[in-house]
Amino acid sequence: MARMIIALAGTLILAPLAVGTALAQRQASGQSEQAVNMRLVGTNDLQARSAYQPVIQQQGGRWIAY
């Protein structure tokens, strides 16, 4: 009984480490879980600005957000 408890405890401790190692290797190679037949070719930090920048203009008597 004690051996079973020790084996179960070891499995519960080592299993997340194995999964974490596999994910770290995948991220290091530039792959994600959703990437299929794709690879990262570049990035842009947007000069520390938000990607969403609405522009509000008046057009024909109405205000429109683009």
Please, which residues have CB within 8 angstroms of residue 26's CB and are 6 or more apart in sequence?
Answer: 32, 33
In the numeric block, the tokens 């109405």 are attached to 62
Q: What is the pTM of this model?
A: 0.26
Helix (H) or strand (E) holding 19: helix 2-28
What pLDDT, on the 0 to 100 scale, is given for residue 61? 92
In a domain, 19, yes or no: yes
pLDDT score of 23 more than 80:
no
Q: 46 in a domain, yes or no?
A: no
pLDDT band, residue 58 (cuts 50/70/90): very high
What percentage of residues in the chain have a pLDDT greater than 90? 17
| Within-domain flag for 13 | yes
Distance (Å, whole) CA 16 – CA 5: 18
62 domain-assigned = no
Q: What is the mean pLDDT of residues 7-14?
A: 62
Name the residue with tokens 């290091």: 28
The domain of 12 spans: 1-31
